[in-house]
Amino acid sequence: MSEGDLGSLLGGGRHAAFVWWSYAIGAATLGLLAIQSIFWSRRLKRQLAALEAAQGAPEAQETRR
C-alpha cells in the first residue's frame, strides 16, 4: 500500500466520490434492513408473550373457579 492510494481515495475527487456513494448506499441499505429485522423480530416476540399471557389468564381464572 502506498500513501498515494489512501490519499487519492480519501482526498476526494470525482472518482473517489463514486466509490464513497456506493459504499454509503450499500451500508445504509443493509443497515436499515438489519435494524428493521431486529426490531420486527423483537416486536413479534413481545406480541407473542403478551398473547400467551392473555391466553393463560382466562384459563387460570377458570381453574381458580
Partner 1 sequence: MHRFANPARFMRVAERLLPWFLGLGGILLLAGLYQGLIASPADYQQHETVRIMYLHVPAAILAQGFYFGMALGSASFLIWKHPLGDLMARAMAPVGAALCFICLVTGAIWGKPTWGTYWVWDARLTSMLILLFLYFGYMALANAFDDPSRGHKPAALLAVVGVVNIPVIKFSVYFFNTLHQKSTLFAEGGPSMDPDMLLALMLMLGALGFLATAMAIIRLRGEMTVVKLRAARHGLNRHDDATQDVKHEETTR
Distance (Å, rounded) from C-alpha 10 to C-alpha 4?
A: 10
Q: Which of residues 26-55 bind partner 1 (CB under 8 A)?
A: 26, 29-30, 33-34, 37-38, 40-41, 44-45, 47-48, 51-52, 54-55
65, amino acid identity = R
Contact 41, 33 (CB under 8 A): no
In which residue are the cell numbers 456506493 written? Answer: 22
**Interaction site with partner 1 (CB under 8 A):** 1, 5-6, 8-9, 13-16, 18-19, 21-23, 25-26, 29-30, 33-34, 37-38, 40-41, 44-45, 47-48, 51-52, 54-55, 58-59
